[in-house]
Structure 1
Amino acid sequence: MKKLWLLIFLLISMLLISACNSDSKSASGSNESDSDTIKIAGIFSSSGGAAPLGEPGLETLKMIVKKQNEEGGINGKKIELVTYDDKSDQNEAVLAMKKAITQDKAVAIIGGTISGNALAMLPLSEQNKVPFISTASSRQIHQKEDGTAREWVFKMPQDDSHAVEKLLQYLKEKGHSKVAWLNVANSFGTGAHAEFKKSARKYGIEAVIEDEFEATVKDAKPVLTRVKKAKPQALIVWGTVQETSVVIKNIRELAIDLPVLGSHGIGSQQIFNLAGDSANGVIFPGGRLIVADQLSDTDPQKEILLNYKEEYEKEFKKPVSLFGAHPWDGFYILVKALEEKGTDRAAIRDYLENNTSEFVGLAGVFSLSPKNHNGLTPDSLVMIKIENGKWVLEE
């Protein structure tokens, strides 16, 4: 009997030791295989209303991570990419961010397809001191109300202020001083509206009517009827692909014969699918990617734009989208930080802020600083016109 009790005691002791070792390994978040990889998380709206923006972003990140690993990874370590679909929903985006930080223990996070989702995600980045490289547009994502930079957040797309300023420059050049302003009723639209009101007077532009429409709009004819009565010289529709397509179709149906200008949020092939011929003639500020072959050979971005375009279209058998450019920029800026500083989150953050200068990316030439975690200017955008299902450089 004593031998039996001794055997039971030994078995229980071995189990306890094994459990403790297992718990210790799990809590530390490190093991032998983890030390050979670098974990990065990608969070994109690859389904739901923002899928035309999120899908090319996710595809691009997967493609370039695979390429980086095939070329040896980073300092001999392979990249482990964990991805989430936030379904174009803020709550899902926050949940994915929590998992990426606490469960996956990612060294950095790339994504946040739309401004509302990115704004909802960023407090977790700041609280947990994890670099967050946003692929959404609003200036509020990387800049606080007092104008200072958010410590742990960096943003790859042009600010909405850049896009609005580029649009205002164009309107002034064309002599359109009386305009109608319509924006989608979310953070993407309201942020741009605030920028418009702040800068319009400087360019001699006046809004004869300002209104908004829902992201789920099915019929914008009531608000467009009010626009028609206001008699503007040009009509600005500030939204992303889904809702803008509805509004511009309604503009054509009401035979409103005005120059129609869109936001930098419509530079996706989906605009042709959703709006059809109604998109013809729409002009908007956008990145150089979709008109890369029309750029001057002296443009510093042209070569990398054409290379990315070729790689993406070969891999996915469809045209590139401006929204694939932003994770490309974010990833390769992050790679430089990882090569120099390893996986320490604070060191990565410091490198991004202080050592990213004149980086030639797809969205523009980036120069980040402690005061500016975006590092682009309005000149990173060009004016683009839609003509018969094609992008045409307007300048």
Structure 2
Amino acid sequence: MKLKTSVFAGILAATLTPLAFADVTVGITLSSTGPAAAIGIQSRNAIDLWPKTLGGEPAKYIVLDDGTDVSKAVRNARKLTSEDKIDVLVGPNTTAAALAILDVLKETQTPMVALAASAAIVTPPDDPGRHWAFKMPQNDSLMAQVLVEDMVRKGFKKIAFIGYADSYGENWWKEFSNLAAGKIDVVARESYQRTDPSVTGQVLKLMAAKPDAVLIAGSGTPAVLPGKTLKQRGYKGVIYQTHGIGTLEFLQVGGKDVEGTLFPTGPGVVAKGLPDSNPVKKVASEFTEKYEAKYGANSATQFAGDAWGAYMVLDNAVKQALQQKAQPGTPQFRSALRDAIESTKELIVPNGVLNISAKDHQGFDDRARVMGKIEDGRFQYAAEK
């Protein structure tokens, strides 16, 4: 009788004990070295602040450096999926690497939350690889829209454009020129390589068109060169940049030559200056305070905010995926996690409000962009006038 009672008690205890899950494993590939290191380091700084749990369960983070090398990023993704059995991949920072990893996602059925910008990473979302791909940075179209609105509001009629001679510059040209059509006359277009030591020839051609403003479509420190050259050549018009400039290194390298530059940005970069009515201000400010408490005043960037937002997306999605009773480390959990990310609704992260769906694997709307300006060596909010 005692044996039966003991067995019954054991069964009852097992029934009442919450289901124990394995650790949720997150693989992360970042450009901590190489040309995109300024971006990758900002992402890594934010990731170092991630809590050690996801969805209330213990989490394991495996961080690898891809050296801003596409082939190494792919090797990292293959190692993380095959050897480390990750449940989700975060990163990479560059569009080329994210696109190259799509085949790995398709083969291993592993979701990815990229920290690179191009809409091509997630469009079309019904593509077999992109079915598993999501990304944090705003689409270029959303940022180009706020730029065009600002130019029109300021009464500019003629704009010149110079951008990288790669996918970043090409996509920005496509988005900007489409949105500018019928509103602004784009009077000149030039391009340059990220490693070019001089853009004097291109700048002289831009200035010859006598534009009211110039848009530079670059990212990180190589985006400094056209603006610096324009200033040195005596250009007096307004200089715009894209949200890709949001690194402290850009400010350091640019110095006085980038003062007055206007750019679109996520709210997290300029949280302190946002009006109280901004729906993102509370979350953005909380992140900024946490980040700057460790890394110093005015150190928060777009890329750090995106990395913190990735944690918030995963924390929210893991809670939902665990309800399916699938164990982390299994194909069933990866699938449940992908579906949960895709069902993210009204989630406020430092750079906007996410509503992800089967038709939109990015998910930001107009609440994810404001205009910023460089003033006194800092990224600041540019209030509409």
Question: Does the TM-score normalized on the shorter chain lie above 0.5?
Answer: yes
Equivalent position of 1:281 in the other structure? 260
Equivalent position of 1:201 in the other structure? 181
CA contact (8 A) 2:102 2:130 kept: no
Is 1:231 the counterpart of 2:210? The answer is yes
Is 1:139 the counterpart of 2:119? The answer is yes
When you count helix as a share of all residues, which structure comes out higher? 1
The superposition leaves residues 335-378 of structure 1 with CA deviations (integer Å, 9 ceiling, x where unpaired) of 12212213301111111112x11101111000011100111124
Which amino acid counterpart does residue 130 of structure 2 have in structure 1? Answer: R
TM-aligned CA distance change 1:260 to 1:148, over 3 Å: farther
Which runs of 5 or more residues in structure 2 are unaligned?
1-19, 323-327
Pairing partner for 1:392 from 372, 376, 380: 380
CA distance in structure 1 between the aligned counterparts of 2:270 and 2:34, rounded to whole angstroms: 27
Percentage of pairs with the same residue = 27
Which amino acid counterpart does residue 216 of structure 1 have in structure 2? Answer: T
Equivalent position of 1:377 in the other structure? 365
Equivalent position of 1:127 in the other structure? 107
CA distance in structure 1 between the aligned counterparts of 2:114 and 2:271, rounded to whole angstroms: 24
CA distance in structure 1 between the aligned counterparts of 2:336 and 2:157, rounded to whole angstroms: 48
RMSD after superposition: 2.0
The CA deviation at 1:325 is 1.0
- In the TM superposition, 1:170-319 aligns within 5 A as 170-202=150-182, 204-317=183-296, 319=299
Equivalent position of 1:61 in the other structure? 47
Pairing partner for 1:366 from 354, 373, 376: 354
Q: If the length of structure 2 is used for normalisation, what is the TM-score?
A: 0.87
Is 1:161 the counterpart of 2:141? The answer is yes
Pairing partner for 1:108 from 78, 88, 95: 88
Pairing partner for 1:81 from 58, 61, 69: 61
CA distance in structure 1 between the aligned counterparts of 2:302 and 2:283, rounded to whole angstroms: 14
Moved more, 283-292 or 138-147: 138-147
The superposition leaves residues 266-308 of structure 1 with CA deviations (integer Å, 9 ceiling, x where unpaired) of 1222122111100101100001122211112232222221221
Equivalent position of 2:9 in the other structure? none
The CA deviation at 1:251 is 1.3
Q: If the length of structure 1 is used for normalisation, what is the TM-score?
A: 0.85
The CA deviation at 1:75 is 5.8
TM-aligned CA distance change 1:184 to 1:301, over 3 Å: same
The CA deviation at 1:36 is 3.7
CA contact (8 A) 1:149 1:370 kept: no
Which amino acid counterpart does residue 358 of structure 1 have in structure 2? Answer: E
Aligned to 1:276, the other structure's residue is in SS state helix
Equivalent position of 2:8 in the other structure? none
TM-aligned CA distance change 1:75 to 1:133, over 3 Å: closer
Is 1:45 the counterpart of 2:31? The answer is yes
Larger Rg: 1
Which runs of 5 or more residues in structure 1 are unaligned?
1-33
The superposition leaves residues 93-139 of structure 1 with CA deviations (integer Å, 9 ceiling, x where unpaired) of 11111111111111001111122222222221123211000111111
Which amino acid counterpart does residue 253 of structure 1 have in structure 2? Answer: Q
Aligned to 1:106, the other structure's residue is in SS state coil
CA contact (8 A) 2:28 2:64 kept: yes
